[in-house]
Amino acid sequence: MDERYDPKVIEPRYQKLWEKEKLFKVTEDPSKKKYYLLEMFPYPSGRIHMGHVRNYSIGDVVGRFLKMQGYNVIHPMGWDAFGMPAENAAIKAKTHPAKWTYENIEYMRSQLKKLGFSYDWDREFATCDPEYYRWEQLFFLQMLEKGLAYKKKSFVNWCESCQTVLANEQVEAGLCWRCNNPVVQREMDQWFFKITAYAEELLEYCDKLPGWPERVLTMQRNWIGKSEGAEIDFDVEGSNKKIRVFTTRQDTLFGATFMSLAPEHPMVKELVQGKEEEKRVNDFIEKYKRISREDRITGTLEKEGIFTGSYCINPVTGDRMPIYVANFVLMEYGTGAVMAVPAHDQRDFEFAKKYNLPIEVVIQPEGKSINAEELTEAFEEDGILVNSGEFSGMKSPEAREAITRELEKRGQGKKTINYRLRDWGISRQRYWGAPIPVIYCDKCGIVPVPPEDLPVVLPLDVELLPSGASPLPFVESFVNTTCPKCNGPAKRETDTMDTFVESSWYFDRFTCPDYTEGPLDQSKTDYWLPVDQYIGGIEHAVLHLLYARFFTKVLRDLGYLKIDEPFINLLTQGMVIKDGAKMSKSKGNVVDPDEMIEQYGADTVRLFCLFAAPPEKDLDWSEQGVEGAARFLNRLWRLVYEHHESISRVNSYSGKTPPGDASRKLHRKTHQTIKKVTEDIKERFHFNTAISAVMELVNLIYQVKDDVLREEKGLEVLREAIESAIILISPMVPHITEELWRVLGHESSIVLTSWPTWDEEAVKEEQLLIVVQVNGKLRSRIYVSPSADREEIKRIALEDERIRKFVGEKPVKKVIVVPGRLVNIVV
RNA sequence: GCGAGAGUGGCGGAAUUGGCAGACGCACUGGACUUAGGAUCCAGCGGGUAACCGUGGGGGUUCGAGUCCCCCCUCUCGCACCA
């Protein structure tokens, strides 16, 4: 054994060995309990960053720990390989996205291997491989058949700098989630996945995912945005047309005094046609087409609107309601039309004040009275109905039901549920993605590619365009094809799929990456799925994690899967920050994993990532902290170095209480540590406290070893303690522990060892420390035997000299005894 | 504005069920070893001379509150004219 700990020698040695022995390769084994452990696979952007190191280190601890506990752990890794950065980098470097991507994969794989993660590399794949995306194209065709994929013309989010459309989830505060540039609305014919068909189930299952962080579920619930209300039809005066609104406040219907339409509302054009208002309204619409989104980023727009010159009729009061176009009404939500109730909606109130429209109070707060003239803001809460005909006197919730029933009877409305969630726009006008497998024929229209013709391979022989726009439309050999129906000349779809489609099912494919008969081998998916533990960043709370849930339900309904949800437990780890900010090139605070590994070794980097903060919190990178981690590993190394020759001659102590005070103390601490570390990892994922427990054990070994060695079974007890420390910390720092394990004479890998169990008897303290309080204040400590009963503890406490001093002559009112904890004497 | 989470030494963080606040680590201080120490080992390390005071602030429940309840403040994240 070397005197000096040198990770540069040890780490590659064991990485090669693990790989050669295929220690982490797994197959289905019905006799064992399976565990599917997964970390979000990376985009091959070039190099691994600290966020990946942290994410994968957390996963690796869980994987190695559970393997040692006897689980059949599947722990795969692969590459989310389609995407725009490849294309942009390729344009810049005048290379090909495929070349760029595969080179990055090569390098990043080597980085992951240098970190010693326990992946089953035989399952690795990249999503840009046609053998992967061909199945995705098949799913698309089957979804098309079921109406779950469809094409429609609508206003979509367009990112000018990315030259492509984005789904709603991919727009953050009006900006593109990738490049942070403003997103504009553009009317385009696009492919969608009907995620809204699953809105209710996606929402409902939020209550059936107890292993998910509450805040992720909340974000998903909010994103789905269910609201219960009614659709109400308003007749347009002098026409047989109706305007349909969605409202959650049917109880305020009697107070609806005007109508607001979104600028994009299809009815606006008809309403103003030939009227003197026509030009003014059209100018207004044009203005908001140009500025609306961008202004929403900077702040709230002032409410503004314009009268269309038309009126509609309030179905319950019969009053004429002027129809306005209003800048704050969203076409995307509800029906794009809002019945305006100025007394009970703040936006409508402001609007009514500005344009001098009538305000009718129809809801009174309980025990108070308000009137329209004195209102300074809308009363938006529930209350008691007034001025509402037969419904006056009802409470809001009751009135909502009653008014809806009345409208239904008259055929002028119905109860509805509205969701904020929109269908998932998946067309991307970029090259580096999976082609959408449809063909356009002048005669037959949209024709799906026959499944037997899959995959529609993305042609690699292309010249990228400097603008970023897809070169596919110009690749004649790709575009020009024949119609599968009529055999006539036809053209292929040149849009590709959103790369979030690939990441929506990669975890399914990991169970059978080489299966060629179909997308998924049921004998494998049935065994491995669902994913037991998923680990990744919170930034995907409503992107990937929502899409993947949706896709799982689709694959279930297509007959591929038997599960309802993909991920049982979800851990969202915090960011790695430095100097109070997220690491970024522009801030110049990036710490490169390669440099850290070079300087300290993978084990030290891993240990620091796990020790500095609990996984769900942000981790503040500190070079001094890293040195602390390195110091601990050196300390462990020296301990083994100093004693390996002597303890190698004996077996680890395995009996009950050993003779000798020091030995007993160390034996007890050893078992306490086994218990603590096991529970911390298994039940709480608190690796930081698990590590600190091992540090305590090592500290105690240093402290008592000389005394222990003077005792009868001392050497055995010392070996037990040292060996336990090595095993317990091995999931965090697998290389150094593998080496030390072998130094102690073991010939097979530490990974194959069973996780130690603790002796409940040994864990117990011989003497319990009991805290004694007088009037709730700590006054003394006493030691009692664990077998002492309440009376005895009480007696010892009251006899304690310090306590007698504090109690003095005062009468003892009450004595509270909590066995094993404390005594509180109330005087 | 709505929703969620958090606030503990100089710092990262412990305290799992209401029961010794500050485990473990970093930084710092003193000492030992040493040609040397940025290695290692040992000791100390919330404030206060002390009684005592201390978990963002103020109330409350309790024998006992970092932990439970009410009010307030601050910060972070998400959504944001959602009808």
Nearest Cα to Cα of residue A56 among A593, A541, A501: A593
Kindly give, in sequence order, each residue whose CB lies less than 8 Å from that of residue A587, ignoring residues fewer than 6 positions away.
A579, A581
Sole residue written with tokens 């049921």: A522
Nucleotide nearest to A333 (CA to C1'): B82
Nucleotide nearest to A169 (CA to C1'): B79
pLDDT of amino acid A822: 86
Nearest Cα to Cα of residue A788 among A807, A805, A765: A765
Tokens of A530: 């669902």
Q: A231: which strand partners?
A: A246, A414
Q: Is the peptide bond before A266 cis (omega within 30 degrees of 0)?
A: no
- At A215, the pLDDT band (50, 70, 90 cuts) reads confident
pLDDT of amino acid A404: 95
The protein footprint on chain B, as nucleotides within 7 A of a CB, is: 3-5, 11-16, 19-21, 23-27, 39-42, 52-53, 63-65, 77-83
Gap from A375 CA to B71 C1', in Å? 28
Task: State the Cα–Cα distance between residues A332 and A420, nearest whole angstrom.
Answer: 8
Cβ atoms of residues A175 and A209 within 8 Å: no
Q: A824: which strand partners?
A: A773, A816
Cβ atoms of residues A15 and A52 within 8 Å: no
Task: State the Cα–Cα distance between residues A715 and A643, nearest whole angstrom.
Answer: 9
pLDDT tens profile A434-471: 999 999 999 999 999 999 999 999 999 999 999 889 99
pLDDT tens profile A248-286: 999 999 999 999 999 889 999 999 988 999 999 999 988
pLDDT tens profile A29-50: 999 999 999 999 999 999 999 9
pLDDT of amino acid A826: 86
HEC sequence for A115-182: CCCCCCHHHCCECCCHHHHHHHHHHHHHHHHCCCEEEEEEEEEEECCCCEEECHHHEECCEECCCCCE
Task: State the Cα–Cα distance between residues A82 and A594, nearest whole angstrom.
Answer: 25
Which CA-bearing residue is nearest the C1' of B82? A333
pLDDT of amino acid A294: 53
Nearest Cα to Cα of residue A191 among A138, A143, A134, A127: A143
Task: State the Cα–Cα distance between residues A337 and A330, nearest whole angstrom.
Answer: 8
Gap from A207 CA to B57 C1', in Å? 36
Sole residue written with tokens 């979509």: A156
- At A293, the pLDDT band (50, 70, 90 cuts) reads low
Span A496-515, average pLDDT: 97
Gap from A770 CA to B65 C1', in Å? 20
Gap from A701 CA to B33 C1', in Å? 21
pLDDT of amino acid A292: 54
Does A300 score more than 70 pLDDT?
A: no
pLDDT tens profile A474-487: 999 999 999 999 99
Kindly give, in sequence order, each residue whose CB lies less than 8 Å from that of residue A476, ignoring residues fewer than 6 positions away.
none
Q: A322: which strand partners?
A: A311
Q: Which of A185-189, A404-408, A635-639, A695-699 has the lowest mean pLDDT?
A: A185-189
Which position has the higher pLDDT, A581 or A399? A399
Which position has the higher pLDDT, A103 or A183? A103
Q: What are the CB-based long-range contacts (under 8 Å, 24+) for A512-517?
A: A513/A76, A513/A78, A513/A122, A513/A123, A513/A124, A513/A125, A516/A131
Task: State the Cα–Cα distance between residues A494 and A470, nearest whole angstrom.
Answer: 8
Task: State the Cα–Cα distance between residues A542 and A548, nearest whole angstrom.
Answer: 10
pLDDT tens profile A709-748: 999 999 999 999 999 999 999 999 999 999 999 999 999 9
3-state helix, strand, coil in chain A (%, to 5): 45, 20, 35
pLDDT of amino acid A625: 93
Q: Where are the beta strands (DSSP E) in A583-733?
A: 619-620
Task: State the Cα–Cα distance between residues A555 and A562, nearest whole angstrom.
Answer: 9
Nucleotide nearest to A617 (CA to C1'): B6
In A680-815, alpha helices (H) = 687-709, 714-729, 734-743, 760-763, 790-799, 801-807
Cβ atoms of residues A489 and A424 within 8 Å: no
Does A159 score more than 60 pLDDT?
A: yes
Nearest Cα to Cα of residue A350 among A313, A319, A312, A380: A380
Nearest Cα to Cα of residue A441 among A497, A496, A478, A484: A484
Which position has the higher pLDDT, A805 or A319? A319
Gap from A776 CA to B47 C1', in Å? 21
Q: Which of A139-148, A484-493, A704-713, A793-802 has the lowest mean pLDDT?
A: A793-802
pLDDT of amino acid A295: 55
Task: State the Cα–Cα distance between residues A652 and A715, nearest whole angstrom.
Answer: 8
Nucleotide nearest to A230 (CA to C1'): B83
Span A231-259, average pLDDT: 95
Sign, CA dihedral A607-A612-A617-A619, equals: negative
Span A508-516, average pLDDT: 98
pLDDT tens profile A392-414: 999 999 999 999 999 999 999 99
Which CA-bearing residue is nearest the C1' of B20? A771
DSSP code per residue over A478-541: HHEEE-TTT-SEEEE---EE-TTTGGGTHHHHTTSTT--SSS--HHHHHHH-SEEEEEEEGGGT
- At A765, the pLDDT band (50, 70, 90 cuts) reads confident
Nucleotide nearest to A337 (CA to C1'): B83
Gap from A182 CA to B44 C1', in Å? 58
- Percent over 70 (pLDDT), chain A: 99
Sign, CA dihedral A91-A93-A97-A98, equals: positive
Gap from A617 CA to B74 C1', in Å? 19
- At A143, the pLDDT band (50, 70, 90 cuts) reads very high
Span A673-701, average pLDDT: 95
Span A209-237, average pLDDT: 91
The interface pTM score, or ipTM, of the predicted complex is: 0.94
Task: State the Cα–Cα distance between residues A767 and A663, nearest whole angstrom.
Answer: 16
Sole residue written with tokens 């007696």: A795
Task: State the Cα–Cα distance between residues A670 and A694, nearest whole angstrom.
Answer: 9
